[in-house]
Amino acid sequence: MKKIFLILTGMLALVPAGWCGYEEKEETSINTNFIAEPISPQCAPAAQAPAGDYPYYGNAPDELLPYRNIKPFYQYWLTRLPFRGPGKDYPDPIGLKTLRIGLLSPPPYGPESVRGEMSKKGVMLAIEEANAARQPSELPFEVIEKVDSPQWGSAANIAVEFADTNALAFIGTIDGDATHVALRATLKTEIYMVNCSDPDPSLTETQIPWLIRNFPDNRQQGYLLARLIVEERGLTKIVVFRANSRPGRVGVRPFVDAVRRLGHPVLQEINFKDGDRTFDTQVAVIKQANPEAVVFWGNPAETGPAAAQLRAAGVKAAFYGFDRLVDPDFIKLAGPAVAEGATAAYPFDLEKTDPAWTNFVARFEKRYGMKPDIYAGYAYDGTQMLVTAIKKAGPNRYRIRDLMAAIDEYTGVCGYMRFDGRWDNIAPIVYAQFLQGRWHFTPAPKLKPVKTAAK
């Protein structure tokens, strides 16, 4: 019945738009496709220029697109949204002593604090290197760090503080709630935001042309997991076990939608609260469902014990998760035996040996005495992108935005990045499997056409 309704409504959508009394505009009459975006900044050499338009947001495979069997009345994100406001020709501020970049860090005692610290290290290393390499005529960069507090909306206040301190752009943050509210404020303050760590798939969906994200988000991770679990491994009885938070709710959404579109909706979506250490009720419910796969979204402090308790209760399902599963704490808290075989979507192989990465690892280790992780890597790359744009644009927020918004590709220490119509990095990611005491990274399986339940 529902399908019939959808088909009927789809047919309605196909009625020529002229019925409503207007002549549909010719595409050429609208100058939105390619606005006067400046040329790409001088970034690391890109492999090949992209085609120029952005057919699928989030690199979504055809079979995972929503309403794919219906021609929608209107489709968004085929082009990049321009910023049409003034400002590019405003004179540079007088008397600048530094070029200020804001850094919005997560609360120091919250669940994102460790990731925030690594991200900050990546930012600071990039800034230190940029300042070390600057010419005498160039102004040094200065990082204005503001630390978020665990109250709703704090990040919005901080975004305003960045404007008050004349920051040219800012970097942050990890928590999806904070990033969203900060992003809202950028529409008013008109300060560009570089995100290197927030996996929230909805972050870039709200049509704000003041953001770029180089961190592969939960949409891409979710698609990878969906295809891996359903198509490659043939598991169809799936349970999602996630944090009861907004990031958890929106984080699993692309995965849940994807497996449904592949014909196997999840059996259950069970929640836990941050801080929980025992999961008796959830374990009982999941055990009753007898799943073949349990997909975790959350931090290791919760997912580790949860995995152990599921196994102890006799749940034999394979364990899957998003990038946060690839964490020593998960192995420690779940136990190596329980973690054996666990598989997670992950941005890239941390053990890759290309010179860009290995040189970065060496520099990072020299500076901080520890190895970088993906958060440090993407923060370093994001800062480099921003530094390059600022150097080229000068201290003008609008020109900086235009340069950043024109980036289609970038190759940094984390590897090749390609940005879609919403400025999301859609470069292929990998999956990691924990086997015999260590994580093994494997490129995403070559995607093949599939027959879905809907087809």
Partner 1 sequence: MKKRAFILLLILVCFASVALWLRQNYWIDHMRQMSGQKSLANVSCFNCHLVSTAKLRWAQPRPHHDAPAGMAISPDGKKIYIALDDRDEVAEADTTSRQVLRRVKVAGRPFGLAIDAAGKNLFVTCRNTDRLAVLDTQTLQETGSIAVGMAPVAVAFCRTAAGDRLVVANSMSDDISVLSVSPLQELGRPSAGREPFAVAITPDGTRAFVANRMVRLVSVKTIPTSEVTEIDPMTARTVRREALESAHQSEGICAVPSRSWMLTPLVKVRNLVPITQVANGWVMSSGLAITDVKSGNVIQMPLDEANNYFADPSGVVVDSSGHRAFVASGGGDVVTVVDLDRMAAWLDKADPTTKQEAIYDMSLSPAYVTARIPTQRNPHQLTLSPDGGTLFVAERLADSVLVVDANNLTEKGRIILGDGGLNDPIRRGERVFTKAAYTFQHQFSCRSCHPDGHVDGLSYDFDTSGIGDNLLDNRSLLGVAGTEPFKWNGKNASLEIQCGPRFAKVLMRTDPIPQKELLDLTTFIKSQPPQRVTRNEDGTLTPSQERGKAIFFATKTKNGTEIPHEKRCASCHRPPLYSVRLSFDVGTGGTFDTPHLLGVANTAPYLHDGRALSLEEIWTLYSTNDSHGVTSYMNKIQLNDLVEFLKTL
Partner 2 sequence: MKTMLNSLTLATGIALLFSLSGTPDVRAAETATNDLPLPFPLIERFENFHVQDGMPTHKVHCVLRASDDKLWVGTYDGALVREDGKFRRIGVEDGLSHKMVLCMVEDKRTGDMWIGTMRGLNRYSAGRVTTYLQTDSGLPNNVIYGLGIVDDTLWVATAAGLGVLNLKTGEWTIYDHTNTTMHEPWVYSVAGANGRVFVGVWGSGILEYDLTRKIFTEYRDPDRDFHFELVHDAGPINDVTSWVAWDEGILWQSTYFGMSRYDGSRWRTWEEKKSPLVSNFINFIWAHGRVAWVGTDRGVSVTDGDTWVTYRANENGEGLAEITRPGQPVETRTMATKLPNDFVLGIWADDQEAWFATSDGLGHANFAASPKSAKVATAK
Q: Give the binding site for partner 2 (CB under 8 A).
A: 9-10, 12-13, 17, 20-25, 27, 30-32, 57, 65-67, 70, 72-77, 81-87, 90, 151-153, 156-157, 160, 163, 180-181, 184-185, 188-190, 202, 205-208, 246
Closest CB 325 distance from partner 1, rounded Å: 23
Residue 114: which of partner 2, partner 1, none does it interact with, CB under 5 to 8 A by kind?
A: none
Burial class (CB in 10 A: 0-12, 13-18, 19+), 56: middle
Residue 275: which of partner 1, partner 2, none does it interact with, CB under 5 to 8 A by kind?
A: partner 1
Closest CB 142 distance from partner 2, rounded Å: 22
DSSP code at position 448: -
Q: Is the preceding omega at residue 173 within 30 degrees of 0, hence cis? A: yes
In the region spanning residues 126 to 185, those forming contacts with partner 1, defined by CB under 8 A, are 150-152
Beta carbon nearer to partner 1, 180 or 261: 180
Structure-token pair, residue 102: 């804001």
Distance in angstroms between the alpha carbons of the first and the last residue of the chain: 16
Q: How far apart are CA 278 and CA 436, in angstroms?
A: 27
Structure-token pair, residue 288: 């009753």
Beta carbon nearer to partner 1, 222 or 248: 248
Binding of residue 75 to partner 1 (CB under 8 A): no
400 closest CA partner among 143, 149, 212, 132: 212
Grouping H, G, I as helix, E, B as strand and the rest as coil, residue 115 is helix
Beta carbon nearer to partner 1, 71 or 273: 273
Helix axis angle for 280-289 and 300-312, nearest 10°, is 60
Binding of residue 76 to partner 1 (CB under 8 A): no
CB-based burial, 152-182: b 16+ in 10 Å, e otherwise: eebbbebbbbbbeebbbbbbbbbbbbbbbbb
Task: Spell out the residues 6+ positions from residue 288 whose beta carbon is closer than 8 angstroms to its own.
Answer: none
427 closest CA partner among 440, 412, 441, 405: 412
Residue 395: which of partner 2, partner 1, none does it interact with, CB under 5 to 8 A by kind?
A: none
Q: How far apart are CA 196 and CA 206, in angstroms?
A: 18
The binder of partner 1 chosen from 45, 234, 275, 369 (CB under 8 A): 275
Residue 20: which of partner 1, partner 2, none does it interact with, CB under 5 to 8 A by kind?
A: partner 2
Binding of residue 277 to partner 1 (CB under 8 A): no
Closest CB 100 distance from partner 2, rounded Å: 18
Beta carbon nearer to partner 1, 10 or 150: 150
Binding of residue 280 to partner 1 (CB under 8 A): no
Beta carbon nearer to partner 2, 115 or 422: 422
Binding of residue 71 to partner 1 (CB under 8 A): no
Beta carbon nearer to partner 1, 83 or 279: 279
Task: Spell out the residues 6+ positions from residue 5 whose beta carbon is closer than 8 angstroms to its own.
Answer: none
> Cβ(179)–Cβ(200) under 8 Å?
yes
Q: How far apart are CA 267 and CA 77, in angstroms?
A: 32
Beta carbon nearer to partner 1, 156 or 317: 156
Beta carbon nearer to partner 2, 184 or 233: 184
Closest CB 257 distance from partner 1, rounded Å: 30
Residue 66: which of partner 1, partner 2, none does it interact with, CB under 5 to 8 A by kind?
A: partner 2
Residue 157: which of partner 1, partner 2, none does it interact with, CB under 5 to 8 A by kind?
A: partner 2
Residue 273: which of partner 1, partner 2, none does it interact with, CB under 5 to 8 A by kind?
A: partner 1
Closest CB 108 distance from partner 1, rounded Å: 12
Closest CB 136 distance from partner 2, rounded Å: 33
Beta carbon nearer to partner 2, 206 or 288: 206
Q: How far apart are CA 409 and CA 259, in angstroms?
A: 30
Q: How far apart are CA 370 and CA 355, in angstroms?
A: 18
Task: Spell out the residues 6+ positions from residue 355 whose beta carbon is closer than 8 angstroms to its own.
Answer: none
Binding stretches for partner 1 (CB under 8 A): 150-152, 273, 275
